[in-house]
A and B are shown apart, each in its own frame.
Chain A
Amino acid sequence: EIVLTQSPDFLSAAPEEKVIITCRASQSIGSSLHWYQQKPDQSPKLLIKFASQSFSGVPSRFSGSGSGTDFTLTINSLEAEDAATYYCHQSASLPLTFGGGTKVEI
């Protein structure tokens, strides 16, 4: 099973700051890494697919990068509505797995 380790577990940042969340895979997964945003009492929403491809309708301040085992989600110019928990998810091999999540506080 591929383990995804996210860091940090929690971060607090001010509006307009730049935030970087990392996701490390226990083995190489190519670019089969996706990022989700989950707000309280909502289902997860896709932000980035295949490491760096922005999903339709996602604000341009969200971007992803990386390949192999190391990936990052960057939020440029943080906004109040970005308060949420962010998860990475790998689809390189079964079982499909998720990172433990990073809670972002504004």
Chain B
Amino acid sequence: QVQLQESGPGLVKPSQTLSLTCTVSGGSISSGSYYWSWIRQPAGKGLEWIGRIQSNGNTNYKSSLEGRVTISIDTSKNQFSLKLSSVTAADTAMYYCVRGRSSGWYPDPWGQGTRVIVSS
């Protein structure tokens, strides 16, 4: 059974770059059958899709974040990563990594999430 686990700093200063990693266990991230994605949720608010990547490196990003966001994949480590630059308090949220099928997307499973606070 595939499991995902987020990791990274819980506190980031404004204007700096948020960097998170998702480690996948129980399955290979190299499978072309899936997208690997990031979704975030500010405290007490709804869910926002950030972007996704396939094992071949193809990416899709939410347009309002494009220019600040980069998702990359490291098949040798079975990990994928999120970088979000020039962060502000509005980027404070719980960040989830998820897997979704390439043919007929629905995100499952989800990682447990990692909370990131943007504050000086």
Contact = CB atoms under 8 A, between A and B. Distances in A.
Task: Please report whether the interface of chain B is mostly helix, strand, loop or mixed according to DSSP.
Answer: loop
Interface stretch (B9-17, B20-28, B77-85, B103-111): B103-111
Contact of A89 (B96, B104, B107, B112): B107
B47 interface: yes
B60 A89 contact: no
A43 B96 contact: yes
A39 B110 CA distance: 14
A91 B105 contact: yes
B106 A49 contact: yes
A64 interface: no
Contacts of B60: 94
Interface stretch (A15-23, A68-76, A97-105): A97-105
Interface residues of B, number: 18
B108 A89 contact: no
A43 B63 contact: no
Nearest to B62: A95
Interface residues of A, number: 20
A97 B106 contact: no
Given A43-B96, A43-B113, A98 B108 contact: no
Interface string B20-58: 000000000000000000000000001111000000000
A66 interface: no
B58 to A, nearest CB: 12
A101 to B, nearest CB: 5
B112 to A, nearest CB: 6
B47 A87 contact: yes
Interface of A: 32, 34, 43-46, 49-50, 55, 87, 89, 91, 94-101
12 contacts: A34-B107, A43-B96, A43-B110, A44-B110, A45-B110, A46-B106, A46-B108, A49-B106, A89-B106, A91-B100, A91-B104, A99-B46
